[in-house]
Homo-oligomer: A and B are copies of this chain.
């Protein structure tokens, strides 16, 4: 009888651990990590960034609240940020060493592990849409350069000429206020979400690294490094010094620590960002949502532009 009671208690504890309540929906957005402090960003720029993060968050939350998919929420949120010159993605993309724009993006759905990504494209208005097209319309996961652009354009992605990415005076003005090697370098955008059906999705989009060598690919289009989603664990989007995020397979490592070592999403994100990357000198951050809707926003830089919301009514937008 005693043995039976002990077994029963263990069983209860086990079921309890496995049956954490799931939120109806949850979403986190980032606009890059780096030296984001009042010293480098003026009050006017901070207000503009906050307003854009808020607009993107509202769009994503509305989609999820009305029963839309996490995939749709992630794409729409990222398109809003790509269309703004405030972030290093889409319209605001930085220039490489050769004076060109090479944009990358990736997307993944946690229910199927389907994924799509593009790298080194210079003529697609919304790289995140090109990534979704590669995922949904091609047998491939990752496509680069003209091959990627051509394929996305044939499936309806909007083409722009290179002038689209050229910065207006306002963008130049803004940039002067933002120290180089910080926000410019780490201004990648991303979004992770859990929808009412329990499906996770993750998306990441970047304009690359200012003055990077022609042909360099960072972590943003690399599934498992800058982006990952798995309904068994979590969705992750990363931003930072991409080379470290590739070598440490950051996004998949967070998922693996949850699945195999039973860490929580916050513990896993901290382990990777503060212990592993921190020790190696890799700077950046991640946003995560786990399968229950719990969030993590961890960074080892001075700041990370971020916004979050969920079905409990939690909502936040942070520049500093």
Contacts and interface: CB of A to CB of B under 8 A. Distances in A.
A-B pairs with the 6 shortest C-beta distances?
A: A147-B215, A256-B256, A260-B260, A147-B214, A224-B249, A260-B261
Interface stretch (A61-69, A134-142, A194-202): A134-142
B261 A217 contact: no
A222 to B, nearest CB: 6
Interface of A: 108, 113-115, 119-120, 138-148, 150-151, 212-218, 222-225, 228, 242-243, 246-249, 252-253, 256-257, 260-261, 280
Indicate the member of A138, A242, A252 with the most B CB atoms within 10 Å. A252
A144 B104 CA distance: 13
Contact of A249 (B138, B139, B148, B249): B249
A74 B120 CA distance: 29
A256 B247 contact: no
Nearest to A147: B215
Contacts of A280: 113
Contacts of A140: 212-213, 216-217, 243
Given A143-B213, A144-B145, A223-B249, 6 more contacts: A115-B247, A141-B246, A142-B246, A143-B217, A222-B223, A260-B261
